[in-house]
Structure 1
Amino acid sequence: MSQPIHYDNISRLHGSIQNLQASHVIVIGLGGVGSWVVESLARTAIGSITLIDLDDICSSNLNRQIWLNNDIGKFKCDVLKERCMNIDESIKVNTILDFINDNNLDDILTPLLTSKTIIIDTIDSSTTKASLISYTVTHKIPIITCGSAGGLTDPSKIVSGDLTKVEDDRLLFWTRKNLRKSFNFPKGPKQGEKNTHRVKKWNINAVYSTQRLIEKPEAAVITNGGFRKCDSQLGTVSYCTSVIGMVAAGKAVDIIVDGEFRGPNVNRIDENV
């Protein structure tokens, strides 16, 4: 029988062990970033994790994701569930073999929500990311959204901040654009116009890199959802995917320890607020 994980030398976590064990984290997307998110959460006394993905593991995933050769061909959800249980058998792991999209968001997520739920989004589709974030606004659920790892080579450039402040990440740029276009999020200045007012933060945690890519952004694969190719034109390395995942997991733990389960703070432009 495995031994329980202890945090005697980390007073902040040790004093919040009950909060951690009562929390529920939903991880959507289990690829280069999401697999490392789950690994970190499983080692941090999180009580309940829901894994959502329909993808299986292929050989070209091994350079940047957490899998081993004998995992090839298996569903990512199944492998990560077993891994979590081997790390800490007290964790409750729920798996959902599906891709999140506009049509199934409510049916899949709403039954899972508790007062201590956090969503970590590692989806690589800007349109699906926007739909998911809009959903969290409606349901007042805290969300941490992760940017693209494609083309990154410098893990020291990975930061976290409000989604309104992201500049160099193209995936999050298009996500924010879709939120304003399709979900009535507050608009920024028009292209070419100077921003003369202070943008109000949306309270949407984003993890992204400030590294400016040498490759053209058109080389990045930013899909509209569903299955994608195992290999893209824009390479990815494990020491960047893993850092994005670890930072996202750390932000989730911060929310849990602080007890601040606040959803996004967005007044849509069609709301009379």
Structure 2
Amino acid sequence: MLTQFSRTELLLGKEAMQRLEGARVAVFGIGGVGGYVCEALARSGVGALDLVDDDKVCLTNLNRQIIATRKTVGRYKTEVMKERILDINPKAKVEIHNCFFLPENADEFPFEEYDYIVDAVDTVTAKISLVMKAKECNVPIISSMGAGNKLDASQFKVADIYKTKVCPLAKVMRRELKKRGVKKLKVVYSEEQPTRPKEDMSISCRTNCVCPPGAKHKCTERRDIPGSVAFVPAVAGLIIAGEVVKDLGQIG
């Protein structure tokens, strides 16, 4: 019988599609990378998704985030993404968590029920905590390394964290994970040398924060405001989604 996933089934096969339909994936961070992860997972037939983020769509997200439009500015990213997923696949089960993942609230998430975890969060503290929780519960996890201040989307690679190079975030993650005895972690990272953003205060969120009312983290509080483009984080997100689909579908 022809379905919306028939073209995908032509490549993956019926058994893989059944595994994807029965899978529950948690995506932590629904931004430039995480939004495209969710988009591709929904279009690939993943049956259940948990979306975790406490940010609202901001005007400055329109340059790169799939959920960001003039109509969605000011709304929670999780809620916008849920609507989009259900427009794509009304049968999908979508749980939203309007909070940032932190070591302090790690026990509030049903990690043992997840079949896969996607780490698309920004802070090292949250990334490390996510990895440790995934290892503790024996759940597969894939982490996104830095996608900001980059222009060449062809430089992304999939590798174990200990085989990464160039990426400053990956360097910090290698050091911290080694301290904690973590032996391996699948990541998507770029070997492009990061570009320094132009120091023009007239276009910087540092002095012109336009975050929606009620935003938990203001740009004025951030240590650094990275530059970004439409195509780099999107590619990282799609690569991550591809890895999740192949792993869950037991393909290749």
TM beyond 0.5: yes
Change (3 A) 1:242 1:15: same
What does residue 103 of structure 2 align with?
Answer: 102
In structure 2, how many angstroms separate the alpha carbons of the residues matched to 1:228 and 1:257?
39
Q: Give the aligned residue type for 2:31.
A: G
Q: Contact 1:23–1:48 at 8 Å: present in 2 too?
A: yes
What does residue 181 of structure 2 align with?
Answer: 185
In structure 1, how many angstroms separate the alpha carbons of the residues matched to 2:107 and 2:9?
41
Q: Contact 2:23–2:48 at 8 Å: present in 1 too?
A: yes
Q: Give the aligned residue type for 1:45.
A: G
In structure 1, how many angstroms separate the alpha carbons of the residues matched to 2:81 and 2:102?
22
In structure 1, how many angstroms separate the alpha carbons of the residues matched to 2:61 and 2:195?
23
What does residue 243 of structure 1 align with?
Answer: 235
Q: Give the aligned residue type for 1:47.
A: G
What does residue 164 of structure 1 align with?
Answer: 162
- Please show how residues 1-273 of structure 1 align to structure 2 within 5 Å: 4-7=4-7, 10-66=10-66, 67-110=68-111, 113-114=112-113, 117-181=115-179, 184-185=180-181, 202=184, 204-215=185-196, 227=217, 229=219, 233-258=225-250
Q: Give the aligned residue type for 1:142.
A: P
SS of the aligned residue for 1:36 comes to helix
What does residue 202 of structure 2 align with?
Answer: none
Structure whose residues are more often helix by fraction: 2
In structure 2, how many angstroms separate the alpha carbons of the residues matched to 1:173 and 1:14?
40
Q: Contact 2:53–2:78 at 8 Å: present in 1 too?
A: yes
In structure 2, how many angstroms separate the alpha carbons of the residues matched to 1:151 and 1:55?
21
In structure 2, how many angstroms separate the alpha carbons of the residues matched to 1:12 and 1:108?
31
Change (3 A) 1:13 1:79: farther
SS of the aligned residue for 1:103 comes to helix
Q: Contact 2:16–2:251 at 8 Å: present in 1 too?
A: no
SS of the aligned residue for 2:232 comes to helix
SS of the aligned residue for 2:118 comes to strand
Q: Contact 1:100–1:128 at 8 Å: present in 2 too?
A: yes
CA RMSD for the aligned pairs?
2.2
Gaps of 5+ in 1: 187-200, 217-225, 261-273
Shift of 1:233: 3.2
In structure 1, how many angstroms separate the alpha carbons of the residues matched to 2:241 and 2:100?
21
In structure 1, how many angstroms separate the alpha carbons of the residues matched to 2:48 and 2:191?
32
Q: How many residues align?
A: 229
Change (3 A) 1:208 1:171: same
Shift of 1:228: 5.0
Shift of 1:253: 0.4
Q: Give the aligned residue type for 1:139.
A: C
Q: Quick one: percent identity of the two aligned structures?
A: 30
In structure 1, how many angstroms separate the alpha carbons of the residues matched to 2:105 and 2:9?
43
Q: Contact 2:150–2:195 at 8 Å: present in 1 too?
A: no
Change (3 A) 1:134 1:23: same
SS of the aligned residue for 1:7 comes to helix
